[in-house]
Structure formats: structure tokens, C-alpha cells
Structure 1
Amino acid sequence: MSDFVTAIHFKTEDQGAVIDALVQTLRGDGYEMVPLVLPGEDVVEDPTRSRLRRFFVSPEIGGWVSVFDENFVEVFGLPGRLCTATDVPTILLWRQGRKSWGYSLRDAGRLLDEFATDPNYLEGACGGRPDVLCEYGTGTVEQFRRLLEEGKGAPRAAQPIFAKLMGIPNAECDFEDMETGQTSEVQLFEEFVKINFLLRGTAIGGTPLPEGLTSPGD
């Protein structure tokens, strides 16, 4: 699997509620759902992936539903709003190769805990709160404490261990892996849902996306 992974994980069994929250949040940002195969998608000038947003949403696995965002930068703006919209515990978990890893944990719309080996990712992030983590995961306070202390210099090893202590599946998977067909290690990939969003007014194949466009079935 990829060295660069990021996803938002929701402690819930309701995949549909997570999808609904994602759709409503993106619509509030000026996006609309579009078909999975876009006419002229290859000519959309979008080097920062800010006009075309693509996601994979997992089914419930072990009490968690996960959202995999193609855009590593923009994903940091979603967890707080999605936590409020779903009203379930939400954790953003990422790893950037061997350089850094971190997480942010929210519940009831409130930020409870943050940790990052690189402070550039989370402004003012603390060193982690094992006492809070053990309330949401399967690990003990001591296990989390030891991991956060020893894992500061070993992102590639620490991030998957953290996910295991939290009970989070598919934490070493990434959008790009799935998009390119590297799914052999992705649990229940056949039940994942892929969703595309396009910023209103963006031209695809020379035709602007009209205001108010909705996907079939909406």
C-alpha cells in the first residue's frame, strides 16, 4: 500500500448517513454530484484538484465507516463539519511516508484530541491524549501513551499500530491505491461507494456545469 495515506473515519454503522453528510457538506461549498464517468473529464484544468473532488466511502467494517479523499490538502477542512453533520465520533488519520503522521479526534462537533509529528499540519497540536483515545479505541492508556512517545520518529510503523489500537480498518489504504486498482488488501472494496463532485460553473468538455445540477436518483 501507499506510503502516503489519509482518510476520515467515522465510528458508526451507518454508511448512508456518512454519504449524506458528505454530499450536503460539499454542496454547501458549491459542488454538485456528477456521474462517475465525466464527459471530457480529462480536459478539466484542475492541477490542485479543487474543482473536481473525488471520494471513496467504505461500508461499515468493525464499527467504522471511512471516507477516502483524493485531495490531501482539502481533506483537513472536512472532519469538523462532517463530525457535526453526522453527530458521531470522527477521526482524521494520515501518514506522509516516513516523514510524519498524525490524527485529529472529534465527537459531538468538538475537537477532543490532536497529534502530529510535524506541527505544520495541525496548528497548536498537542502530544496526544491517551486517556481520551482509550475511550474510543480498543487500546489501553499505557499502549497509547507508549505509541505516541515512541512513534514520533517512525511514522510508517506507528500509524498502522495506532489504527489497530483504535480498531480502524483499511488505515493503510489510500484513494490513489483504489483508483489505480490496487485493492487486494482493501477490506470489502466491492462494497465501497465512489462519489465525484464538480464545482459549479466548471467547464467539462467545453460545457459549463449548470447551477443546480444533481445526479440521477436525487
Structure 2
Amino acid sequence: MICIVDYGVGNLGAINNMLKYLGVDAVISSDVSMIEAADKLILPGVGSFDYAINQLKRLGLFDVLDREVVVKCKPIIGICLGMQLMTKSSEEGNQAGFGWVDAEVKKFSFENLKVPHMGWNIVEHVNNPLILHGDERFYFVHSYYVECNDLNDVMYSTSYGKKFVSGFRKGNIIGVQFHPEKSHRFGMFLLQKFCEL
């Protein structure tokens, strides 16, 4: 069973609908016992870094997730803000992230490109990608991006004014900056591969 972690921020219904379409047993929950019982976890996220961290702590989920992911090595995928929360910190706020991946979150700053980066874009394979079809296109909506200190953790990169990390993978921990639940067949392929881990 997969638990989509509900902490008040994220596109939970769309993720759950895609998993149902794939025939995957999934539940949306903020209940600690459900998170502990799950085989895998999905950490969605839309909004600001500090608010999300505060929500996780307020609901008593921050330490629970840390234990499930770090101690029990439970597979987890972070989506958009969920990916950013897995890093050490963000320029968007003052709270510390989980620190599961040696990375920081930076703000896009361009003179000639719109921020947020919004729309479809191609991801390039770097290391150990979840899907291997080539030229996958995913849907992005974000003003901040992840910068990995260990390039071995980078799974995907994408170009928008500069190359940025659009996916990382470190053991049982996976993060994607794009929204697979809004990315049609490629998003479905990616979630299916995660479910098969």
C-alpha cells in the first residue's frame, strides 16, 4: 500500500486518481499509523517551504517521516515542493528541510524569462533514472529549483534559462520537480515505476 502524505498542501486527488488508474492500492492520509503501515510514501507539495515544514511539524509528521525514510529506508518520492523539502534548506524560508539529500533550494532569477517556470519541458537522463524512454516531457510549475552538492544524486536535469536538477535519487529517496500527476502518460510511467520498486 502507498500512502500519499496529507499535510494540507498538495495536489492529492490527482495523484490518487492516477494511482487508481494504474490499479495501485493507495490512501491519502495524515494518520501516523497509516504512514507507518505503508510500503511506500508519496510526499506532494504546493506552496511555500516554511509553511510546509511547519505543517508537517504541527501534525506530528516530520519526525515520523524522518524515521520511516532514514531508519526504515522506506521508498519515498517527493513531488515539486515535496522534493524541495527533502533538501537541507531553501532560499524561500528560514526552516531547515529534512536534509535527506545534500542539496539546497535556490530561487530562479532571470532578466528575460518568466518566473515561475510553467508548462511542459523535456527532462534529460543523468543518473539511474526511473524511466528510460528518452525525451520525456513533464509539466512544471515552480519558482525555486534544487541544487545538488553531490552530482551522483542527480537523476534528471532540465533547461530553463540554465540547466537545473529536475529529479534526484539517493537510495530509497526520489524527488522530482515536475508534476507527474499532470504529465499524462510520462507521469503515469514514472509513478508506475516508483510503485514497482
TM-score normalised according to structure 1 size: 0.25
Larger proportion of strand:
2
Q: Which has the larger radius of gyration?
A: 1
